[in-house]
Structures are given as structure tokens and as C-alpha cells.
């Protein structure tokens, strides 16, 4: 087994799910070989954004024919902005914080909740939470 620990990372997001990651996060990977198989266990711990460790795993089978090819990421502009523009929201002015909850009819606290929202006991709390605010008319088309 090989253990890799990474600290002092820049703020970013965890891939695939969009959970934010702070500079205080710790990223630990375990590469575990067993015969023709390898298991990769990834453990994210972040005292700023996560209320408990975020753990994922993947299993791989050794292949004599598969080869990894380089994966090139090419930058592209998806939204035009003037040079030097930095996106921001002043405290208390981010109108997008409730958009996901409103679009899908989920209480805001549940949509922005932590690890407790994954457990069956959370269903009891959901019953007593207020409905999310209405979406503006121009955003009511579900994607």
C-alpha cells in the first residue's frame, strides 16, 4: 500500500460534485494493490467546509493492453468579461445561494447542509423546514 498525503493546497472544489475545498484541507490517497486489482481510496478532510471526512474509492483491474494517453486541458472563454475582471458577491448580496434549492423545491438548509443530510434521520428535520423562496420568472425553466 502506498499512502500519499497532500496539504497546503489552494482553495478550489472537489471534482465531480462541486463541494468547496479550503486551504486548510488535507487530501490523503491510498493505493492498495492486491493481485490483479488495485483499489484507490481518497479521503478529503476539511475543517472549513466538511463536517466529516469525504471518502471515495475506485477499483481497477490490471490490463496488459490498456495505455494511458495524455489528457490535455485547453483553456477557453465561456463568459466574456473585460480584462482584469474578478467575479465577486458582497456579503449578503449573493442572489444565487438559494437558486438550487428553489429550482428543485428543497429547503435551503437541506441543500446547503453538511454530512447530516445524508442520513435517514434527517428526514424528520425536513418535515419542519420552510419551503425555499420562489425562483424569479425568468429562471423557472427546469434544466
Of 44-48, 91-95, 96-100, the range with the highest mean pLDDT is 44-48
pLDDT of residue 30: 97
Q: Which domain holds residue 126?
A: 99-139
In a domain, 76, yes or no: no
In a domain, 93, yes or no: no
In a domain, 42, yes or no: yes
Instruction: Quote the number of domains for the chain.
Output: 2
99-109 core/surface letters (b: 16 or more CB in 10 A; e: else) = bebbbeebbbe
pLDDT of residue 75: 80
Domain-terminating residue out of 40, 61, 82: 61
The alpha carbon dihedral of 8, 48, 107, 115 has a sign of: positive
pLDDT of residue 16: 63
Predicted confidence (pLDDT) per residue in 27-72, tens digit? 999 999 999 999 999 999 999 888 889 899 999 998 878 777 787 8
What is the residue-averaged pLDDT of the chain?
Answer: 86
Amino acid at each position: 500500500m502506498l499512502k500519499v498525503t497532500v496539504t497546503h493546497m489552494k482553495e478550489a472544489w472537489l471534482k465531480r460534485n462541486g463541494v468547496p475545498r479550503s486551504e486548510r484541507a488535507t487530501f490523503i490517497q491510498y493505493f492498495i494493490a492486491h493481485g490483479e486489482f488495485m483499489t484507490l481510496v481518497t479521503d478529503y478532510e476539511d475543517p472549513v467546509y466538511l463536517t466529516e471526512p469525504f471518502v471515495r474509492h475506485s477499483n481497477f483491474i490490471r490490463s496488459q493492453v490498456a495505455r494511458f494517453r495524455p489528457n490535455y486541458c485547453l483553456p477557453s472563454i465561456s463568459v466574456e468579461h473585460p480584462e482584469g475582471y474578478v467575479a465577486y458577491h458582497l456579503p449578503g448580496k449573493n442572489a444565487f445561494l438559494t437558486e438550487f434549492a428553489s429550482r428543485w423545491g428543497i429547503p435551503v438548509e437541506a441543500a446547503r447542509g453538511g454530512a447530516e443530510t445524508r442520513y435517514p434521520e434527517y428526514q424528520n428535520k425536513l418535515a419542519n423546514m420552510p419551503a425555499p423562496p420562489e425562483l424569479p420568472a425568468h429562471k423557472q425553466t427546469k434544466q
